[in-house]
Amino acid sequence: MENTWKEILEFIHQRVSEPTFETWFKPCKTKREEGSWFIIAQNEFARDWLEMKYLSLMREAIYEVTSENPEIVYILGGREEAVPNSESKINAILSRINALNATEKEKLFYILKKNYSSVSQPSNEIQESKFDRKQNV
């Protein structure tokens, strides 16, 4: 992982000025979690600036080095523990779904079915047990 990040930084370094690289990219660290890259910035301003100005460059660099097209999330340094794992992401999504009214749930189901019908699904037993568990909370 560390070598991959170094390669990504080198890719970026070749495409931006030295002061830009030293100011915005060199201080960053990263964490990878199931298809997402969390770019850890040293402060809120750097996080916001990187996200607004350099998201496409970061996406290009990650793709060129890894052939991945991941979700990229900028977070603040010291908050790496806030990086959600897949189970907590799923729980947060289920919690939000459970807060929807019936019409909103129907609309969401329609959108998901239309956009993700080709995604393979886990067995019904797993789907139902997770959903039932969340419904009973």
9 and 72 co-located in one domain = yes
For residue 80, the 8-state DSSP code is G
As for how many domains the chain has, the answer is 2
* pTM of the model as a whole: 0.57
Give the pair of three-digit tokens for residue 121.
């699904």
CATH number at residue 73: 3.30.300.180
Q: Which domain holds residue 16?
A: 2-82
Contacts 24+ apart (CB under 8 A), 85-92: 85/33, 85/34, 86/33, 86/34, 90/130, 91/134
109 and 53 co-located in one domain = no
113 and 70 co-located in one domain = no
| Class of residue 36 by CB neighbours under 10 A (exposed 0-12, middle 13-18, buried 19+) | middle
18 and 41 co-located in one domain = yes
Per-position pLDDT tens, the chain of length 137: 679 999 999 999 999 999 999 999 999 999 888 788 999 998 999 999 999 999 999 999 999 999 988 889 888 876 555 555 556 566 667 777 888 898 988 888 888 888 877 665 554 444 444 444 444 44
Q: What are phi and psi of 15, to 5 degrees?
A: -115, -5
67 and 22 co-located in one domain = yes
78 and 38 co-located in one domain = yes
